[in-house]
A and B are shown apart, each in its own frame.
Chain A
Amino acid sequence: MPVMSVMVILIPLAALRPIVLSYLGLQLLLNMAIPLSLATAGQMFAMAIGEIDFSIGNLVSLVTCIVGTVIPGNPVLGLALLAGIVVIYLCIGAFLHLRGLSSIVVTIGMSFIWTGLAVTIQPTPGGNIPAVLQTLLSAKPLLVPLPVYFLLALAVIGHLFLFRTSFGVLVRGTGGNMKAIAQSGHSIAKIKAAVFGLVGLLGILSGMVLAGITTSADANIASNYTLLSVAGVMLGGGSFAGGKVSAVGAVLGACTMTLVGTLLTFLRISPDWQIGSQGFILLAVLVLNGFVQSTGKARHA
């Protein structure tokens, strides 16, 4: 299913402008899919345990500010801030379970804190992104461009992690049947803490990559990542119910959301329609998904 949604966008793209399938074309086309797919992978882990992170877009923006403004002047402080973010995420995960808190509300609170920090660090877009990041991201590997390797690696690692490691089993189990996991002697608080730590880590990676690609530290640069990442997970076949997720799907979902804009530009449709078309694509894929599933088994809403 998620493969189809990417193809629905990619095939007309290639038909309209065959050059997009060239080395440079693919690189330009998929560059922005790297940071979004990292954030989407983070959201996927949160949704895998039946939670959600409403602050990931704010976090990614904050990370671009840390990378572009704090790290060049004071690398130790910058890295300490990034480590602090992971610790906060670990605590969020644990607290969600221990105090029975709603992740929607907690992460909404966190979103204000991330944005506040970002605005404090970098009131107006700017910054000085470390050259290492820019060089890394403009690397030209053999055969296919960097984004292709990267997206493949993320999908494969994410998939293996979820389906081939014992921790992956616990993650999916926690989303699917928390009681069963708890009764088999595992600490749900620890699992949730670890998963949220991972969400924070992926958010940080996303911010670092985004800063490297855009060479800009901007407190609002990724504000739409929160909604796009949720959409990407859903496009990839994930669900709010928890337990049912796909790393490959999430990466493809993020690609679809990224490619829609380009397709519209090629169709000479004003970029004004881009946001709306992301909405339409999202609905269309979900409807198709629903049909495919409902032919298989009875579903309840």
Chain B
Amino acid sequence: MHSSRRSILSTTWLWSYVGAVLVFIAIALVSANALGTLTASASFASFFMLVGLGQMLVITLGPGNIDLSIPYAIGLTGFIAMKTMNAADGNIAVGILAGLAVGAAIGAFNFGLIRMLRVPPMIATLASGFIVQTFSIVFFRGLQIKPPPGLAAFVDIKLGPLPLLFVLVAAIAVVMHFVLTRSPYGRHIQATGQNVKAASLAGINLDTTRLATYVLCGVFSGLTGILLSAFGGGVTLGMGREYLLNSIAVPVIGGSSIAGGNSNVPGILGASLLLLLILYLLDILGFTVGLRYILTGVVILGIIFASGQTRTLTS
């Protein structure tokens, strides 16, 4: 009895793959170029995975932990990376480092607010998001900075039907899977999410664990900002907007508990593909933008109802 319960719990992520495969079959039925659709959705799914991984780590920390600064961090890191690269291939490495560093700094700032001001994470990251967005507006608005040709070409490389970008991000996800399930850090965040007091009594340094998590989430946002700028041919201020809600939807659809303490990486990959494939299927079927939004919402709700996500205990 106990083991069967566990096996169901541990395979909640399977549903996202079942859904993704079903949607892909539907695409194959209605589209002459199903593989092309897979390629296109896999590119955008890479970005969903990156923000999903970051948000997943934060959510794992437990009730109330959520990073609302992700969309603004994507914008600012994109701007800083592109500005540093200045469209020159020779500056790609330093530009990436700059973008990731800014992402990490935003994460550290988030943690600093939460820890020192004793503000709930949702409010701290919301406020820092406002501040980060202001930096983007003040310093970079209206700047048209093209990505270096080398980087733009790199994010466009295809390995058969899959973009190289997707393969690399999937590789990052594999690493994160082992970080989450095998490394001391991964166990610390899961333990913290399950029971803060017990985790603290077990000798886990809560501050270090939380700091590392918010910094990692910032780094993932930074990576998203850099790659998205390269992919889209430049940075726009609202570039990260759609990643706020999706960064939360991805881990949840993938079977991670919104209440924390119980996350999984395979679901991130499945859920990202599922969400993007649905969008492309609806697009092929000629659904309007409005209907695509509505059905995305219905899918998110359907999965949540079916999987019975437990509530967040904010108290």
Contact = CB atoms under 8 A, between A and B. Distances in A.
Contacts of A104: 66, 248, 258, 312
A275 interface: yes
Which bracket fits the contact residues of A?
Answer: 35 or more
B94 interface: no
B167 interface: no
Contact of A279 (B134, B259, B291): B134
Interface in B262-312: 288-298, 300-301, 304-305, 308-312
A103 B312 contact: yes
A54 B245 contact: yes
A273 B138 contact: yes
Interface string B132-146: 011101100100000
B236 interface: no
B104 to A, nearest CB: 20
B294 A113 contact: yes
Contacts of A121: 290
A99 to B, nearest CB: 6
Residue of A102, A106, A117, A274 with most chain B CB atoms under a 10 A cut-off: A102
Given A96-B311, A102-B309, A276-B130, A109 B300 contact: yes
A279 B133 CA distance: 10
A249 B239 CA distance: 34
B3 interface: no
Interface string B113-141: 10001111011101111110111011001
| Binding site secondary structure of chain A | helix
B117 A286 contact: yes
B297 A280 contact: no
Interface string A98-121: 011111111011111111111111
B297 A123 contact: no
A227 B290 contact: no
Contact of A272 (B120, B134, B249): B134
B201 to A, nearest CB: 15
B315 interface: yes
Contacts of B128: 279
Contact of A275 (B137, B259, B296, B305): B137
A250 interface: no
A240 interface: yes
B64 interface: yes
Contacts of A115: 290, 293
A109 B250 CA distance: 11
Contacts of B119: 283, 286-287, 290
Given A105-B252, A113-B293, A123-B290, A282 B138 contact: no
Contacts of A290: 117-119
B68 interface: yes
Given A104-B66, A118-B290, A119-B289, A282 B123 contact: yes
B4 interface: no
A231 B126 contact: yes
Contact of B311 (A101, A112, A273): A101
A268 interface: no
A84 to B, nearest CB: 14
Closest 10 CB pairs of A and B: A276-B134, A116-B293, A279-B130, A120-B290, A112-B297, A116-B294, A113-B297, A109-B300, A119-B290, A109-B301
